[in-house]
Structure 1
Amino acid sequence: MTTWILLRGLTRESGHWGAFAETLRARLADARVLTLDLPGAGGLHRLRSPADIEATTQHCRQQLAALAVEPPFHLLAMSLGAMAAADWAVRWPGELAGCVLINTSLRPFNPWYQRLRPANYAALLGLAFVPQASRPREQTILRLTSRHLDAQTGAAVVDAWTALRDARPVSRANALRQLLAAMRYRAPARAPAVPLLVLASRRDALVDARCSQRLARQWHADFVEHPSAGHDLALDDGPWLADQVARWSQRKGMS
């Protein structure tokens, strides 16, 4: 049985995968799918988030060891989580059978204005520094990360996300430490010795899709771009994402 580990992004937690984890389980019928929280988020929201990606990666490895999940396993990770996955592949390639990186950006491959689109700086600063109730915050995050949802579906997602935030809030300090970790992380020019699939959303409002394109070229990774989804690809088109993962895994002989 293959094992897939799912990692989310900045201030997000395992609950934000929504229906996608089950969609992936159904598409990879013989696989075990597990979701991990990054330190400082989800079930670990009371922990202090590391200010560097390397410590975040190490914490994830320790979680799996505590769960007796033995390598090699596959990683599927978004955004900040994909930075941890990339670091994992670089430093412990023997633990990974494959790695899917979604809508991420790594220094030194792209300029700052592609890694985080300037048009959203004001909204992001508001999320970081302006006190807001949970629901308006989640409405802003949905607006920044989704391109596909209609009003009714979007309202249901905001309801679910608001409940997650109220139950397991990520502190402002932890959010800023996660952002600092993302800004500081620098990937090596040489590709890790792990099979890689890089996925991007063409209409990502946060991270320019050219970041994923450049990473795929630099690391000689397989690359696929969704033509219309936003940053949260698992939310906007989970079936497409699961299908891409399954096709790639079969092509590489992983499943």
Structure 2
Amino acid sequence: MSNTWVLLRGLMREARHWGDWPARLQARYPHDRIICPDWPGCGQHYQQRSLLRIEEMAGYLQQTLIQQGASGPYRVVAISLGAMVACAWAQQRPADFIDCTLINPSLRGYSPPWQRLRLANWPRLLGLLGQSPAAREATILALTSQRAEPAVLAAWQAWAREAPVSRANVLRQLWAAARFRPAHQAPAVPLQIIQGLADQLVDPRCASVLAQAWGCPLRSHPTAGHDLPLDAPEWLLAQLAAAPA
């Protein structure tokens, strides 16, 4: 039986930032459908206003899937801000999920702000608002990946020129992420948490604390950063094969 995968990216990111990872996933599951939606304010929707609440993003996602003719339950892979949306969605509609993999999540109520975004990076993150799109992408890549390769940066900078995320939308997405507080109990879906122990953006303790609180499996990569699909693509695929049922 074929499944539908939903891949959710994070703050200021669009579907193209998955790189070749969806193609790798498709090769592993050739009969499945893979959907990589863009958030309002990003990618093909870069001219729209970003939503101010994670719960609104979850509702937007559900409508997007309906418009694309998709039907659940789904296998969901979500990173960073996308993981917050996945949590809100799973709490609203757990029957929509076959399973859910959260990559480097950080949630209010479980971790302090200086771990959710490493304190040393706050000046660099605030500086993003004053940078050109090209300089902004260089900063983001340095913060999120241990594989800051020139070809990757060139692609990210090209996408930023084609679909620039406005300063206002950056602030709106940051506001949504900062305000979101999930329910105290874990979503009633099969869940696993993946972390990169070399994450320079989010303290890995955020994922560890959440996995312990929710009693779900925690899988750790010793050298990957925040963008695990970029840093350890094949390893991440292997973890999906071991997702709890």
Please give the alpha-carbon distance, in whole angstroms, between the structure 2 residues aligned to 1:195 and 1:189. Answer: 17
What SS does the aligned partner of 2:201 have?
coil
Q: Who is 2:55 aligned against?
A: 54
Structure 1 position 217 matched with structure 2 position 212 = yes
8 Å CA contact 1:115, 1:211 repeated in 2: yes
Q: Kindly report structure 1 stretches of 4+ aligned residues shifted beyond 4 Å.
A: none
Q: Who is 1:138 aligned against?
A: 137
TM-score after normalising by structure 2: 0.97
Unaligned regions of 5+ residues in structure 1, if any? none
**Pairs aligned (count):** 244
Structure 1 position 194 matched with structure 2 position 218 = no
Please give the alpha-carbon distance, in whole angstroms, between the structure 2 residues aligned to 1:42 and 1:15. Answer: 8
8 Å CA contact 1:27, 1:243 repeated in 2: no
8 Å CA contact 2:133, 2:164 repeated in 1: no
Q: 1:209, CA displacement in angstroms?
A: 0.8
8 Å CA contact 2:76, 2:100 repeated in 1: yes
Q: What letter corresponds to residue 136 of structure 1 in structure 2?
A: A
Q: Who is 1:44 aligned against?
A: 45
Please give the alpha-carbon distance, in whole angstroms, between the structure 2 residues aligned to 1:100 and 1:48. Answer: 27
Q: Percent identical across equivalent pairs?
A: 45
After superposition, give the CA deviation of every residue in 1:57-86 in whole Å (9 maximum; x if it has no partner): 111111101011011111101000110001
8 Å CA contact 2:147, 2:231 repeated in 1: yes
TM-score after normalising by structure 1: 0.93
Q: Who is 2:87 aligned against?
A: 86
What SS does the aligned partner of 1:6 have?
strand
Structure 1 position 244 matched with structure 2 position 245 = no
Going from structure 1 to structure 2, the CA distance change for 1:167 and 1:148 (only over 3 Å counts) comes to closer
Q: 1:44, CA displacement in angstroms?
A: 1.1
What SS does the aligned partner of 2:78 have?
strand
Please give the alpha-carbon distance, in whole angstroms, between the structure 1 residues aligned to 2:197 and 2:126. Answer: 24
Q: Who is 1:4 aligned against?
A: 5
Unaligned regions of 5+ residues in structure 2, if any? none
Structure 1 position 147 matched with structure 2 position 146 = yes
Select between 107-116 and 79-88 the one with higher mean Cα deviation. 107-116
8 Å CA contact 1:27, 1:246 repeated in 2: no
Please give the alpha-carbon distance, in whole angstroms, between the structure 1 residues aligned to 2:210 and 2:34. Answer: 26
Structure 1 position 64 matched with structure 2 position 59 = no
